Chains A and B, each alone.
Chain A
Amino acid sequence: MSGPVSGSLALRLGGLALVVVFFQIGVVSEVPVFGVNADLTPLLVAFVGLLCGSTVGAAIGFAVGLLVDLALVQTLGLTSLIFTLIGYWCGRLRELRDPQAALTPLVVGAVAATVSLVGYSLMEFMLGVEAPVSFELLRLIVLGVLVDTIVALPMWALTRRTLESALPDDPRRRRSRRAYTTGGLSPLSKP
Chain B
Amino acid sequence: MLALLVVLSLLLLTAYFGESPNGRLHAVQRDFLTVVSPLQDGANKALKPVRDLFGWFGATLHAKSQRNELLKQVDKLRAQLVAQQAEKRTNGQLLALFHLDQLGVNDYHPVTAEVFSKTPNIWYSTVTIDKGESSGVRVNDPVINGEGLIGKVAEAASDGAVVDLITDSSMGVMARIGSSSATGLLRPKVGEPNDLVIEYLPAGSPEVSGEYVVTSGTVAPPPYESLYPPGLMIGQVISGSEENGYESVNVRPIANLHDLDIVQVLTSAAGSQPANLSRLAASLPAGQTSATTTGEQLASTQVGG
B121 beta carbon closer than 8 Å to chain A: yes
Take A62-B5, A70-B29, A131-B169 as given contacts and tell me if A75 and B16 are in contact as well, using a CB distance cutoff of 8 Å. Answer: yes
A16 within 8 A of B: no
Complex CA distance for A2 and B106, rounded to whole angstroms: 63
Nearest residue, chain A, Cβ from B169: A131
Known: A71-B36, A75-B16, A120-B121. A132 touches B10 (CB 8 A): no
User: In the docked arrangement, what's the CA distance between A172 and B25, Å?
Assistant: 44
CB pair B118 A25 closer than 8 Å: yes
Choose one: B9, B47, B55, B169; the contact of A129 (CB below 8 Å): B169
B122, A141: Cβ atoms closer than 8 Å: yes
> Whole-angstrom distance from the CB of A119 to the nearest CB of chain B?
11
Q: Determine how close the nearest CB of chain B comes to the CB of A102; give it in whole angstroms.
A: 27
Choose the segment among B94-102, B129-137, B190-198, B224-232 that binds chain A (4+ C-beta atoms closer than 8 Å): B190-198
Interface-facing stretch out of B37-45, B80-88, B209-217: B37-45
A152 to chain B, nearest CB (A): 16
Given A59-B1, A59-B5, A75-B13, CB of A27 within 8 Å of CB of B47 = yes
Which of A30-38, A93-101, A163-171 contacts the other chain? A30-38
For chain B, give the interface size range.
35 or more
Tell me if A22 and B9 are in contact (CB < 8 A).
Answer: no
Within 8 A of A (CB), among B163-208: 169-172, 187-193, 195, 197, 199
* Closest Cβ neighbor of B258 among chain A residues: A32
The yes or no answer to B146 lying at the interface (CB within 8 A) is no
Interface residue ranges of A1-51 to B (CB < 8 Å): 22-32, 35-37, 39
Question: Which of A58, A124, A140 interacts with B1 by CB under 8 Å?
Answer: A58
A55 to B1, CA, bound (A): 7
CB-CB under 8 A from B58, the residues of chain A are: 31-32
In the complex, chain A residues whose CB is within 8 Å of the CB of B190: 129, 131-134, 137
User: Among the listed stretches A78-86, A103-111, A154-162, A178-186, which one makes contact with chain B, having 4 or more residues with CB under 8 Å of it?
Assistant: A78-86
With A28-B120, A32-B258, A80-B9 known, 15 other A-B pairs at CB within 8 A are A27-B50, A29-B119, A39-B120, A72-B119, A72-B128, A73-B29, A75-B16, A77-B11, A77-B13, A77-B15, A120-B123, A132-B197, A133-B191, A134-B190, A136-B195
7 smallest beta-carbon distances between A and B, as pairs:
A137-B191, A77-B12, A77-B13, A81-B9, A29-B120, A76-B16, A31-B54
What residues make up the interface of A, taking CB atoms closer than 8 Å to B? 22-32, 35-37, 39, 54-55, 58-59, 61-62, 65-66, 69-78, 80-81, 84-85, 88, 117, 120-121, 124, 127-141, 144
